[in-house]
Amino acid sequence: MRFKVKIGDLLVYLLAAVLVAVGLMGMYAMGAHGTGKSVVVELDGKEVYSCHIYEGMAPVEFRVDAGNGRYNVVLVTYEEVKIKEANCPDQVCVKSGAIRHVGQAIVCLPHRVVVKIKGSYEDTNDVDDIAF
């Protein structure tokens, strides 16, 4: 019989249940911080610092040492990210102010420092609904 439920069907449903469990466990394992935004500080194109941004986080200050006494101080809070202080000649990075959204960046050319806000797939996701 084509329509009668058979033993194999139960295996399919068992597989479905296992997959749901695996998915939920995977989501849990990725943790609460795994899906949010994060700040990445790059010096000379190399990542020197990164931290997650989440609600209720304590403000974080990070000092980028670009060598020869050159520095930038990055201030990260839940609301915004900015370069608070720097001893570069043009002060463009300080004057450019705060960034808030995924994809934004502050650049300090003299010190070759880049501060970016990166997102998880949820923020950068541009999946075409038709595609799925």
Partner 1 sequence: MNKVRKMVMLALITSQALVLHLIEGLIPVVAPGIKLGLANIMTLVTLAFFGFKEALIVVIVRSVLGSLLSGSVTAMLYSLAGGILSCLVMGWLYFKWRAYFSMMGISTAGAIFHNIGQLLVASWVFGTIGILFTYLPVLTIAAVGTGFFVGLASGYIIKYLEQQKWFRWERG
Name the site residues for partner 1 (rule: CB under 8 A): 1-9, 11-13, 15-16, 19-20, 22-27, 29-30, 34-35, 120-122, 124-125, 127-132
CB of 35 to partner 1, least distance (A): 7
CA distance 121 to 3: 41
Pick between residue 55 and residue 128 the one whose CB is nearest to partner 1.
128
Closest CA to 32 of 94, 106, 122: 122
Find where tokens 């033993």 sit. Answer: 7
CB atoms within 10 A of CB 19: 10
Closest CA to 39 of 65, 77, 92: 77
Pick between residue 58 and residue 127 the one whose CB is nearest to partner 1.
127
Pick between residue 27 and residue 109 the one whose CB is nearest to partner 1.
27
CB of 129 to partner 1, least distance (A): 5
